[in-house]
């Protein structure tokens, strides 16, 4: 088992956003080890709300078997629901018990990533524009 994180996405805009998970490498999913990254894929988040609606969703890196020597990674793509215009991408990477990220739109997307606990805490917030 790899390093996990409790994750949520917050939409502070009045309009809905769409989320897509892309570029997935070495991640548990669909309930394996309690991880459900797919919750955030093809998901619509209403204005001024979050996903999950309350709390967080556990996600976990797969750091064993064929992934023992590979980083775990995924990207969150965020779109405007009405226009399908891309708001931005946040690419997450876990090279080993330390989630890092690259955010291509820091003016609109805020990322909180805390690796200090037994499980990391990740919050992606789309700010009102």
- Residue found by looking up tokens 């769409």 in the block: 18
CA of 114: how far to CAs of 13, 19, 48, 65, in Å?
A: 24, 22, 23, 26
pLDDT digits (tens, 9 = 90+) for 38-96: 999 999 999 999 999 999 999 999 988 889 889 999 999 999 999 999 999 999 999 88
Q: Is 84 helix (H, G, I), strand (E, B) or coil?
A: coil
Give the Cα separation of 107 and 67 in Å (integer). 34
CATH of the domain at 107: 2.60.270.50
Its domain, for residue 60, covers 4-126
Number of domains in the chain: 1
Report the sign of the C-alpha dihedral through residues 97, 103, 106, 110, in that order.
Answer: negative
Enter the DSSP assignment of 98: -
- What global pTM score does this model have? 0.95
């Amino acid at each position: 088992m790899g390093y996990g994180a409790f994750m949520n996405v917050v939409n502070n805009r009045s309009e809905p956003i769409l989320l897509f998970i892309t570029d997935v490498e070495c991640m548990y999913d669909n309930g394996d080890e309690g991880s459900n990254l797919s919750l955030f894929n093809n998901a619509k988040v209403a204005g001024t709300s979050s996903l999950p609606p309350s709390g967080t969703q556990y996600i976990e890196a797969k750091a064993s078997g064929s992934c023992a020597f590979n980083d775990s990674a995924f990207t969150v793509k965020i779109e405007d629901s009405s226009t399908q215009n891309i708001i931005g991408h946040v690419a997450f990477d876990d090279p080993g018990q330390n989630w890092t990220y690259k955010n291509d739109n820091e003016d609109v997307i805020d990322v909180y990533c805390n690796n200090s606990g037994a499980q990391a805490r990740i919050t992606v917030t789309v700010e009102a524009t």
